[in-house]
């Protein structure tokens, strides 16, 4: 659990203006909105915040909000003298025992954001305004298709700009990769629109949009469904404005660190002294290369891909090959899937990337997979006139037809990617793919065992592979993220039912209390409690303990989940 310490309220002297700023920060308002509310200049707001952050001992708005909550809580508590602090504490304990519900908390989330900035009109006349309106309508349509297919969120800004993000309210293993793909797609689409459909706009050197990416650890209420004022929004918007002149998406370095193999990343160096370029309020940046660029081969990082020799032999003989990427912790699965994809792309394989939605409902997976195929192979799909008996067989039919143009690698990302894809296309779809030159690579979460990374070769029929071969690989070092959070455990928590999620958070923060006892305190019906235990054991988060009952799979799992939670020092006495 992350705890942010502060000085006692009486030792921290804040002016009336600084307390006003704290109130507005808690509301999630931007510098401009704060300036408007207080009738001061935006530059003055920055000066006030600089002084305030130093007083609070913090270096970001998110941490300032936490510190503000700590400061305000004692003040609010002091207004009520009807109970002593001891009586309040006893009352809180009694209430907790009766309801079995913990107080609402906050948690860390890694949010990856894509921002789009719209170019200004060069001339204000009816024709130019009409063409701009047509472009913005088409842009919004493609954004909504992308966001829906990739299971993201979007908000539209005055002036035609937009902000899209991944990681909240539901995290995925590959949120940064999704953001990179979305940015590449939008930049390519806008360039194509300007060249072929933009009329007079196509004759100008001024780009229609700028695209920026940024990732940041954000503090979010555990039960919040919406996200306001995230730091990644601000950084991505700054980069989007700079990217217009470059005509390529710009990214912060954290996004590059999280998704190193999703793009042919390009460095930016200054003309003076060949130094790295630093954008104010963002830091060092990188260029997101076009999706058509050759991606780096990182197979040696895993000790080599000797297993691919067997897979290639099967594919060359005309039989599809399924590869299950088995890992714990889950984060390594995304990196290895990317690495295999980049490796086979170097062997002239076509690439189809499918990212599973957060919901495991089959209808949602079918809709998402179909939309992603249409986005990546739109021209082929539009020419296809075949009628299929079901959506699952249509997906299998489309990819088998795509494979006729050359060997195809289907990379499926997500916690339960293998099961999601098999369920989506069904047995009929699996049979349809079996005789095609297709490689299917999908994550298959290990629900037992120690930390490991392996590839299981399942052959052309993954549901009937009695002699599957397992190839153990080197577990690479994965760079630590800000605040030490682990995105894979955030994604796992978000995939759970509300009961299971609450149990995991409480158990991680009460290590001395047996897990079953905590579940009993939650006062859930017996059938729901049983379903909760079954869900958690199948997910691999807990296992049966030697002395009876259940416990976390390992200490690392408990610590990772605990670290996602944020405790405000001193709040227990409020």
361: number of Cβ within 10 Å: 11
Q: What is the pLDDT, as a whole number, of residue 562?
A: 93
Residue 408 has a pLDDT of 98
CB 219 within 8 A of CB 65: yes
Which pLDDT score, from 0 to 100, does residue 76 have?
45
pLDDT, residue 571, reads: 41
260, 223 contact by CB (below 8 A): no
pTM of the predicted structure, to 2 decimals = 0.81
What radius of gyration, in Å, describes the C-alpha atoms of the chain?
A: 26
One digit per residue, the tens of pLDDT, for the chain of length 574 reads 544 444 443 456 777 788 888 778 777 677 877 887 887 877 788 778 877 877 787 777 766 766 666 655 554 444 444 444 444 434 444 444 444 444 567 889 999 999 999 988 777 788 888 888 999 999 999 999 999 999 999 999 988 999 999 999 999 999 999 999 999 999 999 999 988 875 555 555 678 999 999 999 999 888 788 887 799 999 999 999 999 988 899 999 999 999 998 888 998 877 776 778 889 999 999 999 988 888 888 899 888 999 999 999 999 999 999 999 998 888 889 999 999 999 999 999 999 999 999 876 889 999 999 999 999 998 888 888 888 889 999 999 999 999 999 999 999 999 889 999 999 999 999 999 999 999 999 999 876 666 789 999 999 999 887 678 999 998 877 777 888 889 999 999 999 999 999 999 999 999 999 999 999 999 999 999 999 999 999 888 999 988 788 999 989 899 999 999 886 544 443 3
Residue 569 confidence (pLDDT): 47
Contact in structure between 292 and 298 (CB atoms under 8 Å):
no
Cβ–Cβ contacts within 10 Å for residue 477, how many?
7
| Cis preceding-peptide flag for 329 (omega within 30 of 0) | yes
What is the per-residue pLDDT across 221-267, written as a single tens digit (0 to 9) for each? 887 888 877 999 999 999 999 999 888 999 999 999 999 988 889 98
Q: What local confidence, expressed as pLDDT, does residue 32 receive?
A: 78
User: Which residues does residue 351 pair with via DSSP β-bridges, in sequence order?
Assistant: 409
End-to-end C-alpha distance for the chain, whole angstroms: 19
């Amino acid at each position: 659990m992350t705890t942010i310490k502060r000085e006692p309220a009486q030792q921290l002297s804040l002016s009336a203006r600084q307390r006003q700023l704290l109130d507005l920060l808690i509301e999630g308002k931007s510098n401009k909105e704060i300036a408007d509310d207080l009738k001061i200049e935006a530059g003055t707001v920055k000066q006030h915040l600089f002084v305030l952050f130093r007083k609070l001992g913090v270096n970001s708005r998110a941490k300032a909000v936490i510190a503000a909550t700590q400061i305000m809580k004692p003040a609010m508590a002091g207004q009520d003298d009807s109970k002593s602090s001891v009586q309040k504490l006893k009352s809180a304990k009694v209430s907790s025992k009766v309801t079995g519900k913990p107080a609402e908390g906050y948690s860390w989330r890694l949010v990856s954001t894509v921002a789009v900035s719209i170019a200004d009109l060069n001339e204000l006349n009816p024709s130019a305004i009409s063409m701009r309106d047509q472009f913005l309508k088409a842009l919004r349509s493609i954004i909504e298709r992308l966001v829906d297919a990739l299971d993201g969120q979007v908000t539209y800004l005055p002036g035609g700009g937009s902000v899209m993000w991944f990681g909240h309210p539901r995290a995925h293993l590959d949120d940064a990769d999704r953001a990179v793909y979305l940015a590449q797609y939008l930049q390519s689409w806008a360039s194509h629109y300007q060249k072929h459909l933009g009329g007079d706009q196509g004759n100008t050197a001024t780009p229609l949009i700028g695209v920026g990416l940024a990732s940041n650890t954000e503090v979010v209420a555990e039960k919040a469904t919406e996200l306001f004022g995230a730091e990644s929004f601000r950084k991505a918007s700054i980069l989007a404005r700079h990217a217009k002149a470059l005509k390529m998406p710009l990214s912060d370095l954290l996004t590059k660190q999280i998704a190193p193999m999703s793009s042919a990343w390009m460095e930016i160096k200054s003309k003076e002294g060949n130094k790295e370029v630093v954008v104010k309020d963002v830091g060092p940046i990188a260029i997101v290369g076009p999706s058509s660029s050759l991606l780096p081969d990182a197979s040696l990082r895993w000790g080599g891909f000797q297993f691919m020799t067997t897979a290639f032999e099967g594919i060359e003989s005309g039989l599809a090959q399924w590869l299950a990427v088995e890992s714990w912790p889950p984060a390594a699965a995304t990196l290895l899937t990317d690495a295999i994809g980049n490796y086979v792309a170097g062997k002239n394989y076509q690439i189809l990337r499918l990212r599973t939605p957060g919901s495991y409902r089959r209808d949602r997976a079918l809709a998402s997979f179909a939309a992603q195929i249409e986005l990546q192979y739109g021209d082929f799909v539009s020419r296809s006139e075949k009628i299929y008996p079901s959506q699952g067989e249509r997906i299998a039919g489309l990819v088998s037809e795509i494979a006729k143009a050359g060997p195809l690698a289907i990379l499926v990302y997500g916690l339960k990617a293998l099961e999601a894809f098999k369920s989506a296309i069904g047995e009929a779809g699996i049979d349809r793919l079996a005789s095609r030159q297709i490689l299917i690579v999908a994550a298959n979460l290990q629900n037992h065992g120690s930390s490991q990374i392996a590839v299981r070769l399942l052959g052309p029929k993954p549901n009937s592979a009695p002699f599957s071969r397992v190839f153990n690989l080197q577990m690479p070092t994965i760079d630590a993220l800000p605040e030490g959070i682990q995105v894979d455990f955030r994604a796992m928590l978000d995939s759970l039912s509300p009961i299971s999620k609450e149990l995991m958070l409480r158990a991680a923060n009460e290590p001395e209390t047996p897990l079953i006892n905590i579940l009993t305190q939650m006062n859930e019906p017996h059938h729901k409690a049983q379903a909760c235990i079954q869900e958690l054991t199948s997910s691999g988060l807990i296992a049966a303990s030697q002395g009876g009952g259940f416990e976390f799979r390992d200490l690392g799992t408990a610590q990772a989940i605990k670290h996602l939670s944020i405790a405000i020092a001193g709040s227990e006495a409020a």
